[in-house]
A and B are shown apart, each in its own frame.
Chain A
Amino acid sequence: MAMILESAPVENIVRALYIRALKRLPEPVKAAIGGLERAETDATARTVLATMAENVRVAERDDGLLCQDTGIPLVTITIGRGVSFDGVDIGEAVAKGVRRATREHPLRSSVVHPITRANAHDSTGPGVPVIEFRFDPEPDFVRLELVPKGSGSENGSYLGMLLPADGLDGVKRFVIDAVLKAGGKVCPPTIVGVGLGGTSDVAMHLAKLAATRPLGTRCPDAAGAALESALSRAVNGLGIGPQGLGGDATAFAVQVELAATHITLNPVAVNIQCHSARRASATVTPAGVVWGD
């Protein structure tokens, strides 16, 4: 019996996911703030990290927003094998869910038209929410993930069309320099997302996937995972520290995603997620809905 994905539950789930993501930080991020606080050698940085941890507790206690920036809603829908759905209906249901969350909660709409700067006050506009469909060989499930992407960290985005002759050294230098340039503006400690290969747009998108996938997950490619480990250690030697006020805790991690590229290309992209590394997910199976980070 094939699973059917209906648009009504999708609308309700997306509405709930947006609000949930803005209020509750994923467990691995909470744990990482605590871990960095314990390891921090700079007194000011320890105070800043303690304030971040307290903010997470207050948001939970008061059912309040973690950060005033409600971000651009990014929605990823992963469809398992054997699931039937109408993609047009589902896309509309996602937008409706975002609108309802914004109006009914209410939330500040942070989304404007790029030329007129008009704000529809419902967190949507042309191309927003950003919706991506992905497919998975596992049967009979659908996973919906929502990331409210804040602007402070999104402004820390960089693309380098390096030369093959620049090699992996050039890639490493580019990432370190991107973190330097972003400094405290991206609300560190951050997840530094690195996208390698593909074409220019693919590299940027991979960097976004890397910055927004759950903290602590590893790049499935062995060379990519090795690069994650090396860069994660390295960036915290820069001394930028939490909020750019100095200290060890510049990044929770550097996460890498990669794709094959052309013999004459060496694209590298960096996209950054801030300490408010918000995301929420829901997995739908014939047995019901399971909520997660």
Chain B
Amino acid sequence: MADITLTPPFTETMIRDLHAGDRVTVRGTLFGIRDATQIHLFDRDRHTRFDLSGHAVIHTAPNVRSVPIGPAHPAGYAPVSVGTTTSLRMERFTRPLLQRLGVRAIIGKGGLGADSLAAFGTFGGVYLAVVGGAAALETTWIERIDDVDLDDLNPESLWKFAVRDFGPLLVTMDTHGNDLHEVVRARARHNRTAVLAGLGVTS
């Protein structure tokens, strides 16, 4: 287990050096995506002017406020509440995110599925788990909304955030085939028998 601060863009080596259980803080740039963003990018062949290669994306649809454009708000938006949504709904987009756009880290809550784990191994990517339902804290990690693309999908636009110290986040799926979410699920299934026995119930 290690505590690491990383500034994107990440190299493949930086990502392959991470192991499940490590704690990572992201500094610099972070891209926000959600269901609609990826449906438009991958199912409807829309393009983004952003270069996501080597970057981290977070599964979010932030609460934002429109404000006059200025140095503190270059995109004309101020963050109100930036939280993380459940990742599993977006499972089928992990592969194209990594393969086509070169994304190296996905931040979300709850983990992703088996195909994502395989894609992380193949292309060199990790899943970073954030504490779900801690939006007040997460919002303080966002310095600014630097830019926005595909804004017709608002709030599911492609957001470019400037982040001071986004984390600590827990590496839960790595390039070595480790998946902490699955480890916990398997252990819980195993504990079921003892828990039921403690209640005087046969399984």
Contacts and interface: CB of A to CB of B under 8 A. Distances in A.
B140 A187 contact: no
Contacts of B189: 180
A242 B185 CA distance: 13
Contact of B140 (A47, A48, A62, A242): A62
B136 A65 contact: yes
A8 interface: no
A245 interface: yes
A206 interface: no
A187 B132 contact: yes
Interface stretch (A78-86, A217-225, A228-236): A228-236
A200 interface: no
A157 to B, nearest CB: 16
Given A172-B201, A173-B201, A231-B199, A68 B191 contact: no
Interface in B172-201: 172, 180-181, 183-185, 187-189, 191-192, 194-196, 198-201
A48 B134 CA distance: 10
Contact of A183 (B137, B185, B196): B185
B133 interface: yes
Contacts of B21: 44
B136 A55 contact: yes
B140 A58 contact: yes
Contact of A55 (B131, B185, B196, B203): B131
A54 interface: yes
B62 interface: yes
> Which of A68, A231, A233, A241 has the most chain B CB atoms closer than 10 A to its own CB?
A68
Given A54-B134, A65-B136, A246-B187, 9 more contacts: A44-B21, A66-B135, A68-B82, A152-B86, A169-B202, A176-B192, A183-B188, A187-B133, A244-B184
A186 to B, nearest CB: 9
A244 B60 CA distance: 19
A58 B137 contact: yes
A27 B187 CA distance: 32
Interface residues of B, number: 49
Contact of A235 (B136, B184, B195): B195
Say whether chain A's binding surface is mostly helix, strand, loop, or mixed.
helix
B184 A240 contact: yes
A107 B65 CA distance: 11
A66 B133 contact: yes
B121 interface: no
Contact of A245 (B129, B191, B196): B129
Contacts of B168: 47
Say whether chain B's binding surface is mostly helix, strand, loop, or mixed.
mixed
A59 B188 contact: no
B56 to A, nearest CB: 19
Contacts of B198: 233-234, 237
B137 A184 contact: no
B58 to A, nearest CB: 12
Nearest to B180: A245
18 contacts: A44-B170, A47-B168, A51-B131, A52-B133, A58-B140, A59-B136, A64-B139, A68-B60, A69-B133, A150-B133, A169-B200, A180-B188, A183-B185, A187-B109, A230-B199, A234-B196, A238-B191, A241-B184
B9 interface: no
Interface in B23-73: 23, 60-63, 65
B195 A237 contact: yes
Contacts of B129: 243, 245
A149 interface: no
B124 interface: no
Contacts of B184: 183-184, 239-241, 244-246
A241 B183 CA distance: 12
Nearest to B84: A68
Contacts of A183: 184-185, 188
Given A44-B170, A59-B136, A68 B199 contact: no
